[in-house]
Amino acid sequence: MSISSFNPPRRTLMGPGPSDVSQRVLDAMARPTVGHLDPTFIGMMDEVKSLLQYVFQTTNELTFAVSAPGSAGMECCFANLVEPGDKVIVCQNGVFGGRMKENVERCGGTAVMVQDDWGCAVDPEKLEQALQQHPDAVLVAFVHAETSTGAQSDAKTLVELAHKHGCLAIVDAVTSLAGTPLKVDEWQIDAIYSGSQKCLSASPGLSPVSFSPRAAEKISNRQSKVQSWFLDLNLVMGYWGGEGKRAYHHTAPVNCLYGLHESLVIVQEEGLENAWARHQQNHLILRDGLEQMGISFLVAEQDRLPQLNTVFIPDGVDDAAVRTRLLNDFNLEIGAGLGALAGKVWRIGLMGHASNQRNIDLCLSSLRAVI
Q: What is the mean pLDDT of the chain?
A: 96
**pLDDT for position 247:** 76
pLDDT class of 92 with cuts at 50, 70, 90: very high
Residue ranges of domains in the chain: 12-17+272-370, 23-267
> Rounded CA gap, 149 and 305, in Å?
9
CB neighbour class for 16 (10 Å; exposed up to 12, middle 13-18, buried from 19): buried
Q: How many CB atoms lie within 10 A of CB 294?
A: 10
| Annotation: CATH topology of 12-17+272-370 | Aspartate Aminotransferase, domain 1 (3.90.1150)
Q: Across residues 40-58, what is the average pLDDT?
A: 96
Let me know if the fold of 12-17+272-370 is the same as that of 23-267: no
pLDDT tens, 289-302?
999 999 999 999 99
Does the pLDDT of residue 152 top 60, yes or no?
yes
Give me the long-range contacts of 1-5 (CB less than 8 A, separation at least 24).
Answer: none
> Rounded CA gap, 342 and 346, in Å?
9
**pLDDT for position 238:** 72
297 forms bridges with which residues in the sheet?
311
> Rounded CA gap, 212 and 60, in Å?
6
112 closest CA partner among 96, 130, 94: 130
Q: Across residues 242-260, what is the average pLDDT?
A: 84
Does the pLDDT of residue 243 top 70, yes or no?
no
- The lowest-confidence range among 69-78, 102-111, 192-201, 238-247 is 238-247
pLDDT tens, 258-282?
999 999 999 999 999 999 999 999 9
- 256 Cβ contact partners less than 8 Å away, ≥ 6 residues apart: 29, 196, 202, 203, 205, 206
pLDDT class of 245 with cuts at 50, 70, 90: low
**pLDDT for position 240:** 74
**pLDDT for position 248:** 81
Whether the Cβ atoms of residue 240 and residue 210 lie closer than 8 Å to each other? no
pLDDT class of 241 with cuts at 50, 70, 90: low
Q: Across residues 340-354, what is the average pLDDT?
A: 97
- 139 Cβ contact partners less than 8 Å away, ≥ 6 residues apart: 81, 82, 86, 87, 88, 89, 109, 162, 167, 168, 169, 170
> Rounded CA gap, 69 and 73, in Å?
7
**pLDDT for position 1:** 87
CATH classification number, 23-267, choose in 1.10.10.60, 3.40.640.10, 1.10.10.10, 3.40.190.10: 3.40.640.10
pLDDT tens, 95-134?
999 999 999 999 999 999 999 999 999 999 999 999 999 9
- Concatenate the DSSP letters of all residues of 257-310 into one string: HHHHHHHHHHHHHH-HHHHHHHHHHHHHHHHHHHHHTT--BSS-GGGB-TTEEE
Percent above pLDDT 70 for the chain: 99
Q: Across residues 132-154, what is the average pLDDT?
A: 98
Q: How many CB atoms lie within 10 A of CB 13?
A: 23
- State whether residue 3 is helix, strand or coil: coil
**pLDDT for position 352:** 98
> Rounded CA gap, 365 and 85, in Å?
54
**pLDDT for position 297:** 98
Does the pLDDT of residue 166 top 70, yes or no?
yes
Does the pLDDT of residue 242 top 60, yes or no?
no
> Rounded CA gap, 279 and 249, in Å?
37
* Omega cis (within 30) before 9: no
> Rounded CA gap, 356 and 350, in Å?
8
Burial string for 84-97 (b: 16+ CB within 10 Å, else e) reads eebbbbbbbbbbbb
47 closest CA partner among 260, 199, 189: 260
